[in-house]
Amino acid sequence: MINGSPEGSQPQPSPAVLQAALFDLDGTLIATEHRSRAAWTRLFEAHGLVVDDALLATFVGRRGQEALADHVHRFPGSSVEELFAEAVGYLNGPGIPPPYAVPGAEALLKRLRAEGIPMAVVTSGLREHAQALLELVGGPQLFAAMITAEDVSRGKPDPEGCLAGCAALGVEPGRAVAFEDAPAGVAAAQAAGMACVGLTTTHTRSDLRAADLVVPDLTTVGWPPVPLNAIA
């Protein structure tokens, strides 16, 4: 052995240093799933259609228009854009519960900002929606970049948004970690070549088993997230 390595072998690379964090928004930083489910439920019921938990689960973590496209054939005479606008309108209607910050979100964001860790939001939602929700965790000014549904041609699980977020922060995907709450988001991060922390705020641990680390919320997450600092 030479320098602790088998003779003739190359030195092993040191563990990757995580340099940036990408955050999903709905369900990851802000609890909104209860609101979204209520709005989608009203949309389907307003058109005389039956809706259940299995159907609603197909919308989580995806761009609303793309999720609706899977069901638009059930709405004769309506387009995806018309249905999406109707659903968004329900979000501002009476009886829709308010959003709230995921436990630990604001503290983690402010800690990373203080430590100089560049951050981006990569959300399947609209920019106006994202900017308003981020006020609940310290404001959009905490982030160096924001990638929304308007900025991509393909939503999660496609990696386009994650790759755009890394490019905007000037980091290689292998040096960034994504925080996601849905299988579509985990798949997008992995397809981009990123490490991923999954939050069980909207899905079970089993649903997020593909993530590198699974946590209940953001209260115990440090930097770098353990054990992600050991990923090469």
How far is 43 from 48, CA to CA, in rounded Å?
A: 9
Residue with tokens 């519960």, as numbered in its chain: 97
Three-state DSSP class for 179? Answer: strand
Q: Which of 26, 158, 181, 217 is catalytic?
A: 26
Q: Which of 24, 181, 212, 217 is catalytic?
A: 24
Question: Does 26 participate in catalysis according to the annotation?
Answer: yes
Please name the helix (run of DSSP H) or strand (run of DSSP E) that holds residue 55, with its range, or none: helix 53-57
Alpha carbon 87 to its chain centroid, in Å, reads 20
Please name the helix (run of DSSP H) or strand (run of DSSP E) that holds residue 215, with its range, or none: strand 213-215
Q: DSSP letter string over 69-118?
A: HTTGGGSTT--HHHHHHHHHHHHTSTTPPPPEEPTTHHHHHHHHHHTT--
List Cα–Cα distances, 97 to 35, 90, 133, in angstroms: 6, 11, 14
Beta pairing partners, 213: 197
Neighbours of 9 (CB within 10 A): 9
Question: Does 53 participate in catalysis according to the annotation?
Answer: no
Cite the active site residues: 24, 26
